[in-house]
Structure 1
Amino acid sequence: MQRTAVRSSHGRVQVVTRAIAVGQKLPEGKFKYFDGEGQMRDVTTDELCKGKKVVLFAVPGAFTPTCSLKHVPGFVDKADEFKTKGVDTIACVSVNDAFVMAAWGKDLKAGDKVLMLADGNGQFTKALGVELDLVDKGLGLRSRRYSMYVEDGMVKVLHLEEGGAFTVSSAEDMLASLP
């Protein structure tokens, strides 16, 4: 992925990575989550995606209005339709810690329909090149909103939003794009 140095609106110089694209392999990533028995676990992108069909979507932040009222509930509600289309796993990624993601998943009744993955330090988000700088709003580094369909680690469909918009990355948008 191409990297470019730019000056942010805060005057800091930062390295910007061009966002992942269709046809590329997902970068290495490691997430935290709580399993059904309440144990914190790790999962890598390889473990999550190897030999599987995965819908991976990201939100700027847990418990935020659009994410809580529209984005995640859409994937929870449509989980059975995704399974019918051959999707093995639906996972939500956010730059939040695993405790927040577990509480949010419980609040949204994600259950075993959507795996709630914590990208606590934003390392996977940075590797994808989809950082969203919300420092000026007191929210730090977050992820742009997206949804992607991945087969065996390769991105086959990508719906990447600008900033925190919610116009192309819904569950309905992804269902309509699945092969």
Structure 2
Amino acid sequence: MPKAVTTAEFFGGRKVVLFGVPGAFTPTCSKDHLPGFVTAAAALKAKGVDEVACVAVNDAFVMGAWGESVGAGEGVRMLADGSAAFTKAAGLDQDLSEGGMGVRSQRYSMVVEDGVVKVLNVEPARGLTCSRADNILSLL
């Protein structure tokens, strides 16, 4: 059963790489973004990262199934932000209603140390450039 976690619990006293995607099972997210972090998880942890996590405005069951389908395993924790509460609070939401997706997350990656965002890379447009796993790895 999914378990709720607060931002204080999740980010407190740790170094976390969090990346956000517009939606589970979407093409760029499934083919490139999530698999890139799955591949880089061990290297990120070797550089002092305590946890690598992916968040999307989807429910916990969808996020779990997506993580399984891509082989996230223990390397990348899948987080659901079903009501977009975290995404909106972080100012990283976007309205994709025109495409039938409603409010979703922008594509980004960040490094958070003890609850403080140290690095934030938000994609300026469609595509995958600055928020890639290899980019975050190079910044650590």
Q: Smaller-chain TM-score range?
A: over 0.9
| Residue pairs, 1:143-158, within 5 angstroms | 143-158=105-120
Aligned to 1:176: 138
Aligned to 2:102: 140
1:144–1:163 CA contact under 8 A, matched in 2: no
Q: Measure, in 2, the Cα distance between the counterparts of 1:164 and 1:93.
A: 18
Kindly state the Cα deviation for residue 164 of structure 1 after the two structures are TM-superposed.
3.8
Higher helix share: 2
Query: For residue 99 of structure 2, what is the amino acid of its counterpart?
Result: K
Q: Measure, in 1, the Cα distance between the counterparts of 2:6 and 2:75.
A: 19
Q: 1:83 aligned to 2:45?
A: yes
| Residue pairs, 1:30-45, within 5 angstroms | 39-45=1-7
Q: Measure, in 2, the Cα distance between the counterparts of 1:53 and 1:128.
A: 18
Kindly state the Cα deviation for residue 167 of structure 1 after the two structures are TM-superposed.
1.4
Query: For residue 83 of structure 2, what is the amino acid of its counterpart?
Result: N
Across the two proteins, how many residue pairs are aligned to each other? 140
Aligned to 1:67: 29
Kindly state the Cα deviation for residue 163 of structure 1 after the two structures are TM-superposed.
4.1
Query: For residue 134 of structure 2, what is the amino acid of its counterpart?
Result: E
Q: Measure, in 1, the Cα distance between the counterparts of 2:60 and 2:125.
A: 23
Aligned to 1:167: 129
Higher strand share: 1
- Structure 2: segments with no counterpart, 5+ residues: none
2:72 to 95, 110, 119: 110
After the TM superposition, list the runs of 4 or more consecutive aligned residues in structure 1 that deviate by more than 6 angstroms: none
2:16–2:49 CA contact under 8 A, matched in 1: yes
Query: For residue 134 of structure 1, what is the amino acid of its counterpart?
Result: L
Q: Is the partner of 2:4 in helix, strand or coil? A: strand
Aligned to 1:32: none
- State the TM-score, normalizing by the size of structure 1: 0.76
Aligned to 1:94: 56
- State the TM-score, normalizing by the size of structure 2: 0.97
Q: Measure, in 1, the Cα distance between the counterparts of 2:97 and 2:11.
A: 32
| Cα RMSD after superposing both structures | 0.8
Query: For residue 60 of structure 2, what is the amino acid of its counterpart?
Result: A
Aligned to 2:82: 120
Larger Cα Rg: Structure 1 or Structure 2?
Answer: 1
Q: Measure, in 2, the Cα distance between the counterparts of 1:143 and 1:96.
A: 10
Per-residue Cα deviation, 1:80-135 (whole angstroms, up to 9, x for no partner)? 10111000000100000001000000001101110100000001111111111110
